[in-house]
Amino acid sequence: MARKFIICIPSLRMGGAAKIALNLSEQYLEEGMEVTIILTDGNSNDPDFSALPEGLRVIKLPRIDMHHFIRPFINAYQLLKYFRQIKPDAILGVRHDATIIAALAWKLNGRKGRFVIRDINPITKTLNRNAVMVAMIKSAYRSASAVIANSDDVAQALREKNWLPAEKIHKIDNPVLTKSFYKKSQMEVSDPWLDASSSPFVITIGRLDKMKDQATLIRAFALVRAKTEARLMLVGDGPERPTLRKLVKDLKLEESVALPGAMQNPYPYLKRAAVFVLSSKYEGFGNVLVEALSLGKPVVSSACTGGPAYILQSGKFGSLFPVGDHEALAQQILLALAKQQDPEPLIRRSKDFSAEVIAGAYGKVLFN
């Protein structure tokens, strides 16, 4: 009989968290499991589900217009119905809002199956909640069968909280590279901006958010632009978009910087870029670094808390610069643009994060 697996996540508009949920689902579906994703935030505007992995079942809990203290309990009873119907062998909670609800429903269901939490950022960075919500988060972690942390920094932050025995905390890399990723990266793209110039371009991909610190990248690019012909593309959308557009205008970079918004498939752009940059203040892991390496792209990343230094092995597979230091970033970009990079070591490193390899490690925690 096929194993049954549920992932609880607030929304599929959750950036890297949603991507990893979908990557894990894709791999487990290929292995013959029955996989269901349950979206716990009924108020979210989720993307079109037609592009999801074949065979994946997606359920969205109904919208609830109630006080935010009451909402998790109502959601938990709604979720309980699906737990009883599906009878999962394992449940994975992703992000605090979904984890609280899933933990409550799992307990109401007599703790049937294993309940595992996936921790994606250092918990000290994500507990900006009121005391009641923090208490509910703490209770979920204390009761969990296990927690999967996606980097050493994330695991260490959780150990320091001492919410659950250290032996229940498992550090497992993100399952980044799937068959569908490789298919998407091979697609052709037609874009007048790409064809308007033969100058090399630098790319970053991610939510336009203060955490991602694209402002430092734009300031660095102004210094790069003063020394060489180059362009910059910032793929993504988010609350910092107006601020970043103003910064581009103030630095007189409008003709060489593109902000095309979010893309369903940014990988053909990544494939054509000369350099990939991650400028984050902190990261849980840094999935897009792996994606860039898999396409043989030179990578420059901030040496932030989280996964970048680990993925790049402290500079062996890409350059690292101090968080927020736009001058150091500019120097690293210029070096990357000037240097002939052998792509093969980068591609080999990326394969350590294939969904097939990582799903096996997840399975030992989820189903054993």
Asked if 197 and 333 sit in the same domain, the reply is yes
Asked if 70 and 199 sit in the same domain, the reply is no
Regions of the chain short of the pLDDT cut 70: 14, 46-50, 66-69
The pTM (predicted TM-score) of the whole model is 0.84
Dist CA 216 CA 223 (whole Å): 11
- Which two structure tokens, joined as six digits, stand for 60? 């969205």
C-alpha distances in angstroms, 171 versus 146, 266, 283, 333?
11, 29, 15, 31
pLDDT of residue 42: 77
Q: Is residue 152 part of a domain?
A: yes
Q: Is residue 58 part of a domain?
A: yes
Q: Is residue 364 part of a domain?
A: no
Asked if 129 and 256 sit in the same domain, the reply is no
- Which two structure tokens, joined as six digits, stand for 174? 């993100």
Asked if 48 and 165 sit in the same domain, the reply is yes
Q: Is residue 361 part of a domain?
A: no
pLDDT digits (tens, 9 = 90+) for 9-54: 999 886 778 889 999 999 999 999 999 999 998 777 766 666 788 8
Pairing of strands 275-278, 201-205: parallel
Q: Is residue 223 part of a domain?
A: yes
pLDDT of residue 67: 65
Helix, strand or coil, per DSSP, at residue 355: helix
Q: Is residue 367 part of a domain?
A: no
C-alpha distances in angstroms, 27 versus 24, 175, 345?
5, 9, 25
First to last CA, the chain: 16
Helix, strand or coil, per DSSP, at residue 133: helix
Q: What is the CATH number of the domain that holds 53?
A: 3.40.50.2000
Asked if 9 and 42 sit in the same domain, the reply is yes
Asked if 229 and 291 sit in the same domain, the reply is yes
Q: Is residue 8 part of a domain?
A: yes
pLDDT of residue 131: 86
pLDDT of residue 50: 62
Contact present, 350 and 294 (Cβ < 8 Å): yes
Asked if 211 and 146 sit in the same domain, the reply is no
Asked if 72 and 157 sit in the same domain, the reply is yes
pLDDT digits (tens, 9 = 90+) for 121-145: 878 777 777 888 889 999 999 999 9
Range of the structural domain that residue 13 is part of: 4-171
Question: Given 3-state DSSP classes, what are the helix, strand and coil percentages for the chain, each rounded to the nearest 5?
Answer: 45, 15, 35
Dist CA 325 CA 303 (whole Å): 10
Dist CA 121 CA 129 (whole Å): 15
- The 8-class DSSP code of residue 305 comes to B
Asked if 114 and 42 sit in the same domain, the reply is yes
Q: What are phi and psi of 176, to 5 degrees?
A: -95, -45
Number of domains forming the structure of the chain: 2
pLDDT of residue 71: 83
Helix, strand or coil, per DSSP, at residue 278: strand
pLDDT of residue 211: 93
Asked if 162 and 310 sit in the same domain, the reply is no
Asked if 81 and 223 sit in the same domain, the reply is no
Helix, strand or coil, per DSSP, at residue 119: strand
Asked if 103 and 191 sit in the same domain, the reply is no
Q: Is residue 195 part of a domain?
A: yes
Residue 238, amino acid = G
pLDDT of residue 283: 87
Dist CA 219 CA 228 (whole Å): 15
